[in-house]
Amino acid sequence: FEDGTPVRFWGTNVAAYALFVAKDEDIERQAKRLAAFGFNLVRIHHHDSAWVEPNVFGPRGRSTRTLDDAALERIDRWVAALQAQGIYVWLDLHVGRVFQPGDGIDPFRELDGGKPQGFNYVNPQVEEAMQRFAQQYLDRTNRYTKRRYLDDPGVLAVLVTNENDISHH
């Protein structure tokens, strides 16, 4: 840490459906359980994946340009519960987002089923959409911790893009 105290992280993921369907008491219970197992880092993963419904964009629609408040509330709840147990959080910005025709990506047909992997390096519209999401996602205030994600000392890391290369590895 900043004061020179050494730290080691033992982490895991909370992903996909678990982020959005858990009841408040289950989130609290799982956060306590993760802490009891010795975890001090949790990655919030597959929050944007098209195969997860709902996801941060809400029910499947014509666009991924708008974030769903109900889904964000669930993520806020997880982050607050984890931090209350002394667990740091790793936030992903892009994992499985699939652009929709209403996102205004031109030419949309170039994307493999709307998947932007690799195209954010060469398509300015994809780059702009990903930057806009990052701003929307990180510049908001967690309704439970009352901290903006950008300012939250409990957010240890932010992954810009996951498994994103031209050949999709």
Q: What is the DSSP secondary structure assignment for residue 142, as one 8-state letter?
A: P
Coil, strand or helix at 104? coil
The whole-model pTM stands at 0.92
**Residue 6: which region, alpha, beta or left (left: phi > 0; alpha: psi -120 to 50)?**
beta
Q: What is the pLDDT of residue 23?
A: 97
- What would the pLDDT profile of 59-69 be if each residue is shown by its tens digit? 777 789 999 99
- What would the pLDDT profile of 26-39 be if each residue is shown by its tens digit? 999 999 999 999 99
The strand ranges marked E within the chain are 11-15, 41-45, 88-92, 155-159
CA dist., res. 29 & res. 33, Å (int): 6
The strand ranges marked E within 7-153 are 11-15, 41-45, 88-92
CA dist., res. 106 & res. 77, Å (int): 36
- Report whether pLDDT(47) > 60: yes
